[in-house]
Chains A and B, each alone.
Chain A
Amino acid sequence: GAGVSQSPSNKVTEKGKDVELRCDPISGHTALYWYRQSLGQGLEFLIYFQGNSAPDKSGLPSDRFSAERTGGSVSTLTIQRTQQEDSAVYLCASSFSGLPPYGYTFGSGTRLTVV
């Protein structure tokens, strides 16, 4: 597609449930990042994928968070046993490998609300 696509755009879930957030990067982009934007913490890095290399998971806040990227394209961020503090906007970004001269392309995000 023309841009980074994220789904769903909004998700309301009950505390304790699992959720899956999807990111479809720009075709040909091998680098994929997940960020979280919350009122208290601002924008935080979560995880980075590059091609078939092992992901950099250093930003994941707890072991309830996991992510995978199938076939070097679509990525899914999974949050297990959701808590209210997980409520945030989850943003995905993609780029060609290395430092992109024109920045990363971000999706519109998934707004997650845990009630």
Chain B
Amino acid sequence: AQKVTQAQTEISVVEKEDVTLDCVYETRDTTYYLFWYKQPPSGELVFLIRRNSFDEQNEISGRYSWNFQKSTSSFNFTITASQVVDSAVYFCALSENSGGSNYKLTFGKGTLLTVNP
């Protein structure tokens, strides 16, 4: 069975600090997909990134970067020079094709990030 672990329940940083959110996953499939979502206080889940299992290239998007390492089954997320607007709950999620076109997501428990001014 697939599983996603976000060991950090809560993180608090001061603005402009760098912060890394950890994500470790378990799956038996060789083809799978990893996601990060942001959930601000408004409650809506906002898509940040999708990574395919066959593409281990790391990615940078502005202040955000992701480190995907299959050898350790990890998909960590780093925010550089954090800002107050980054305060939210961040979810890591794993998707496998469970048959047909169903790509349901298995989510981690989330990490609450608080960025203080």
For B, the interface residue count at a CB cutoff of 8 angstroms equals: 27
1/0 contact string of A21-47 vs chain B (CB within 8 Å) = 000000000010101000000111100
Q: Is the interface of B mostly helix, strand, loop or mixed?
A: loop
Contacts of A71 in B (CB 8 A): none
For chain A, which range describes its interface: under 10, 10 to 19, 20 to 34, or 35 or more residues? 20 to 34
Are the CB atoms of A59 and B107 closer together than 8 Å?
A: no
When C-beta atoms are compared, the residue in chain A nearest to B97 turns out to be A99
Q: What's the least CB distance linking B31 to chain A, in Å? A: 10
Q: Residue A42 contacts which of B33, B37, B43, B107 (CB distance < 8 angstroms)? A: B107
Which A residues between 91 and 115 are near B, CB-CB below 8 angstroms?
Answer: 91, 93, 97-109
Q: Which residues of A come within 8 Å of B, CB atoms? A: 31, 33, 35, 42-45, 48, 50, 53, 56, 58-59, 89, 91, 93, 97-109
Known: A42-B108, A43-B107, A98-B101. 15 other contacts (CB 8 A): A31-B101, A42-B107, A43-B93, A43-B110, A44-B107, A45-B105, A48-B104, A58-B98, A89-B43, A103-B50, A104-B47, A104-B105, A106-B45, A109-B43, A109-B44
